[in-house]
Amino acid sequence: MFIVNNYLLAVVLCFVTMLCWGSWANTQKLAGRSWRYELFYWDYVIGILLFSVVLGLTLGSTGDAGRSFLPDLRQITPANYLSALIGGAVFNLGNILLSAAVSMAGMTVAFPLGVGIALVLGVVVNYMGSPKGDPTLLFLGVLLVVIAIVLNAVASGKVQRSGSGSGSRKGVFTAIAAGVLMSFFYRFVASAMDLNNFESPTPGMATPYSAFFIFSVGIFVSNLVFNTLLMRRPFEGKPVTYAAYFRGRLSLHLVGVLGGVIWGLGTALSYIAAGKAGAAVSYALGQGAPMVAALWGIFIWHEFRGASRGVYWLLTLMFIFFLSGLGAIILSGAN
C-alpha cells in the first residue's frame, strides 16, 4: 500500500485535506438551489463509501509495504471494527448538523464556528490519545485559530445586525453542536490503526485504507437512521420522502456524489499522513478548512456583500491568525 515516508509529504497531504474539507460544501450550495440538503446528503454519503472502496483497491493494494486492503479487512479485530464504525456514526451525526447549519446560517458563519470548535476539542482529544509533536507549538497554533474564530464571529455578528447577512441564531447553535460531536470522530478511527508502524501494522489493527472504509460504512449505516429521521422532521421546510430522492435529476445526484468524493479524499489523506505527522497534527492541519470555506463564502457566494470596511478588516485579521496558527501547528510536528 502507499505509505508516507517523510514529514514534508505528510504536511502537503494535510494541506490537501484542508482544501477538500473546506471546499466540499460548495457542492451542497450548488445542489441546494433546487435540491433539499437532506436529499443531497444521501448522494454525499454514497460518494464517500464508493471512494473508500476505490481507494482501498488501488493505493491501498499497491506496493510491498504494509498489508493489502482485502487481507487487512479479514484480520482486523471486532473491537477495532467497532471503533471505526462508531467514528463513522459520530462524524455523520455531527456532519448532518453542520450541513443544516450551512443551510441556515451560510458557509462563512457555520464552517468557522462548527469546524473551529471541532479543531480545538479534537486536537486535545487526539493529542491525549496519541501524543506526538511539540505541545507548546501545537496548542499555540490552536490558540491562534481560536482567536481567528472569535474574529469571524464578531464580523458575522456585525453583518447580521446590519441586515446584510444570512445567518440565524438556530444555525449558530446547530453549528456549535456539530463542532462538539465532530471533535471526537477522528480519535475513534485513529485508535483502530497502528499509527506508529504502517509498514508492519500490529496484527488485529487496521491500515489507513481499511480504517477509512470501515469508517465510511459506519457513516452509511448510521445515515439510514439519522437522515431518515431528518427527512421526516427537517430543521427547515416540509418533510421530504425517498420518492422525491429517486425523482431527482442525474446531474443533482452526481453533484452530491462529487461532494462526498472531495470530502473522502481529504479524510483518507489525513489518515494516511497521520503515521508521520501524528493524529493531533494531521487533524489540526486539516481543520484549517474554515479559512478555505470562508474564502469561498466571501469571494464566490458573496455572503458578506454590503458589509462595512470594518467587517472586512476583521476578516483580514481572521485569515492572518489562521495562517499563523497553521504555521505553528506545522512546526510543532517537525520538532
pTM attached to this predicted model: 0.87
Closest to 103 in 3D by CA, of 154, 163, 175, 152: 175
Quote the pLDDT of residue 160: 61
Locate 326 and state its grid cell: 497553521
Highest mean pLDDT among 219-233, 272-286, 298-312, 316-330: 219-233
Q: Which is higher by pLDDT, 298 or 153? A: 298
Q: Which domain holds residue 66?
A: 7-334
Percent of the chain surpassing pLDDT 70 = 94
Q: In the prediction, which pLDDT does 301 show? A: 75
Range of 1-5, 23-27, 123-127, 262-266 with top mean pLDDT: 262-266
Percent of residues, the chain, with pLDDT higher than 90? 50
Average pLDDT over residues 168-183: 86
Residue 66: DSSP 8-state: S
For residue 1, tell me if it sits in a domain: no
pLDDT tens, position by position, 103-116 = 777 666 776 778 77
CA angle 267, 31, 49 (to 5 degrees): 35
Residue 166 scores a pLDDT above 80: no
193: phi then psi, degrees, rounded to nearest 5: -105, 155
Q: Indicate whether 287 pLDDT > 70.
A: yes
| Domain-embedded: residue 206 | yes
Length of the chain: 335
Confidence check: pLDDT of 225 > 70: yes
As for how many domains the chain has, the answer is: 1
Instruction: Report whether pLDDT(47) > 90.
Output: yes
The answer, yes or no, to whether residue 326 has pLDDT greater than 90, is no
Residue with cell 493524529: 279
Residue 313 forms part of a structural domain: yes
Cβ atoms of 25 and 107 closer than 8 Å? yes
The C-alpha cell at 296 is 469561498
pLDDT for res 161: 57
Cα(181)–Cα(222) distance, integer angstroms: 14
pLDDT at 237: 83
Residue 2 placed within a domain? no
Is 182 a domain residue?
Answer: yes
Query: Over 80: is that where the pLDDT of 76 sits?
Result: yes
Taking the C-alpha atoms of residue 324 and residue 111, their distance in angstroms, rounded to an integer, is: 19
pLDDT at 163 over 50: no
Lowest mean pLDDT among 27-36, 88-97, 235-244: 27-36
Residue 118 lies in a domain: yes
**Averaged pLDDT for residues 3-13:** 92
Q: Is residue 312 part of a domain?
A: yes
